[in-house]
Amino acid sequence: MTKKPDILRIAIAQLNPTVGDVAGNLAKAREARADAARQGADLVLYTELFLAGYPPEDLVLKPAFLKACEKAAQEFAADTSDGGPGVIIGTPLKRKSGTHNSIIVADAGKIIAERYKLDLPNYGEFDEKRVFQVGPEIQGPVNFRGVRIGIPICEDIWGDVGICESLAESGAEILLVPNGSPYYRAKIDVRHQVVIRQVIECGLPITYANQLGGQDELIFDGASFAIGADKTLAFQMSQFEEAVDVITWKRGEDGWVCSEGPMSKIPEREEADYRACMLGLRDYVNKNGFKNVVLGLSGGIDSAICAALAVDALGEERLRAVMMPYRYTSKDSLKDAEDCARALGCRYDIVPIFEPVEGFLHALTQLFEGTKEGITEENLQSRARGTILMAISNKFGSMVVTTGNKSEMSVGYATLYGDMNGGFNPIKDLYKMQVYALSRWRNSHVPPGALGPSGEVIPKNIIDKAPSAELRENQTDQDSLPPYPVLDDILECLVENEMGVDDIVARGHDRATVTRIEHLLYIAEYKRRQAAPGVKITRKNFGRDRRYPITNRFRDRG
Report, as residue numbers or ranges, the catalytic residues: 48, 117, 154
Say if residue 379 carries a ligand binding annotation: yes
Q: Annotation-wise, does 46 bind a ligand? A: no
Strands (E), 108-211: 110-116, 142-144, 147-150, 174-179, 206-210
DSSP 479-491: GTS--HHHHHHHH
Say how far residue 258 (Cα) sits from the centre of its chain: 30
Judge whether 404 is annotated as a binding position: no
Strands 225-227 and 233-236: antiparallel
- Determine whether the annotation assigns residue 439 to a binding site: no
Closest CA to 419 of 306, 260, 547: 306
Q: Please check if 302 is assigned to a binding site.
A: yes
Taken in order 152, 156, 157, 162, the sign of the CA dihedral is negative
Q: Give the integer Cα–Cα distance in Å for 267 and 289.
A: 29
Annotated binding residue 259: no
The CB density around residue 125, as the number of other CB atoms within 10 Å, is: 17
**Cβ atoms within 10 A of the Cβ of 465, count?**
17
Task: Check the annotation: does 296 bind a ligand.
Answer: yes
C-alpha span between 551 and 525 (Å, rounded): 9
Question: Could you tell me if 228 and 146 are in contact, meaning their C-beta atoms sit under 8 angstroms apart?
Answer: no
Binding residue per annotation — 253?
Answer: no
To which H or E segment does residue 107 belong? strand 98-107
Instruction: Check: CB of residue 157 under 8 Å from CB of residue 172.
Output: no
Q: Is 173 helix (H, G, I), strand (E, B) or coil?
A: coil
* 227 phi and psi angles, rounded to 5 deg: -115, 125
| d(C-alpha 528, C-alpha 526), whole Å | 6
Ligand-binding annotation for 297, yes or no, is yes
Distance from C-alpha of 113 to C-alpha of 78, rounded to nearest angstrom: 14
7 among annotated binding-site residues? no
Does 301 count as an annotated binding residue? Answer: yes
Round to whole Å and give the CA distance between 45 and 210. Answer: 10
- Residue 300 marked ligand-binding: yes
Annotated binding site: 123, 181, 187, 296-303, 379, 403, 408, 527
Annotated binding site for ATP: 296-303, 403
Annotated binding site for deamido-NAD(+): 379, 408, 527
